[in-house]
Amino acid sequence: MINNYKSPDLNKPRYREKVLSLLNSKTLSKFKEKNPMYSSVDDTKLKNVIKTFNGKIWESILDSRDGVELPASLGYLFIGTCPAAKKVNMDYALSKKYGKVIQNKNWDTDGNVGKIFYTNYSPKYKFKTRELWQFSAIRQFKRAVAKIEMTSIGEAISRIRGQIKAESQDAFMTDRFIYSLILKYAQLLMRRQDSTNKLMKFNGVWQSLNFLELEEIDKVEATCVGIESGSTIKKTKHKLPTFMEGYWGPLIRSVTSIDGSIKLQPTDPATYAAISRSPSFRFNTTRYFWFLNEHLYLPNVNWDAIKLEGVFEGDISTWTCETEDDCQPMYLKTFYIPEFLFSEIESQILNVALNTLKIPGEDSDNKQNPNR
């Protein structure tokens, strides 16, 4: 969508929500009445303490993917992702610069935007009128959330190379080799996360293929995958990108209809064959799929395409770029790996570097030089 962009008239009257500050003399006086030990503290100093404390809270929320529980059981704050509320998510700075409407694509988050969420719904939060409470973030907090980005391939490789160079200036590992090690250890660690179903909640690692064409397969191929030839089976027209392997198999979070209204359940050909022979199967409205030989198979659907969400080993830009200009260089592409796993990945790769390149570690240096 490219339309002419007209800069807003900043001199026109604009509606602004009225801001009420609780850090006023009346509130601070009540606080000192309840807490006499602070009665001698200057109001300005007390305000600064509260602002600093609040700042530490939202910084902790940025650093912790699990969020932060507020003091005095006032609720819970965390950062999550959701689809943009507006159909046109405009980048105002670029639109003003080029004189045309330019949208925020948010490709690295599959079109989702970061949001600050507040909840006090849990039964343990039992203060009065809790359903009337809401949270409004200050501008600095909102802008900090907007700047959160996942690590790019180039940043990850550069970070690891820097650690290797810190051990030995003469050490050398190619970008390709470092990249392959990151993928290797990421898969091992993500498999561990998948075994406890923890990976599902980390939205940033999942990528979407929003339009996968389907084609009907013939009866011979249907028989080959273990289903009676009388069934109608469709499969993805093209081979899918390589998935990362989780504890339970390929990391596929969801397969749905294009509009997302119908979600399919994973199964395998043998299980589906057994289910379909059940007398009650004609009343079964569940849709199924299975992954086999780099394709998805979908029995008894009449759709032309589906939507898929998964974790992939390599670059899938050929599936997601609408034009050549949309695609980024490899080093700028996002690593869809949970940020909290990177420290362990880096540690594993550094151990490989120490052993492969025969870089003496700190312990070996100390043994050789006891005076160090």
pLDDT tens digits, 314-341: 777 766 665 554 566 666 677 777 766 7
Does 343 score more than 80 pLDDT? no
Per-residue pLDDT reduced to its tens digit, 238-249: 999 999 888 888
- CA atoms within 13 A of residue 172's CA, in its CB half-sphere: 2
Nearest-5° Cα angle at 174, 172 to 180: 125
Does 197 score more than 80 pLDDT? no
Residue 329, token pair as written in the block = 């260089």
Q: What is the mean pLDDT of the chain?
A: 78
Per-residue pLDDT reduced to its tens digit, 74-119: 888 888 767 666 566 677 776 776 677 766 665 545 556 778 888 8
Per-residue pLDDT reduced to its tens digit, 139-150: 888 877 776 656
Does 1 score more than 50 pLDDT? no
- Top pLDDT among 263 and 359 is at 263
pLDDT band (50, 70, 90) for residue 236:
very high
Does 365 score more than 70 pLDDT? no
Contact 332, 231 (CB under 8 A): no
Residue 368, token pair as written in the block = 């050789």
With the C-alpha atoms ordered 172, 151, 251, 239, is the resulting torsion angle positive or negative?
Answer: negative
Question: What CA–CA distances, in Å, run from 217 to 224, 232, 247, 288, 295?
Answer: 11, 8, 30, 16, 12
Question: What CA–CA distances, in Å, run from 335 to 155, 205, 245, 331?
Answer: 9, 8, 16, 10
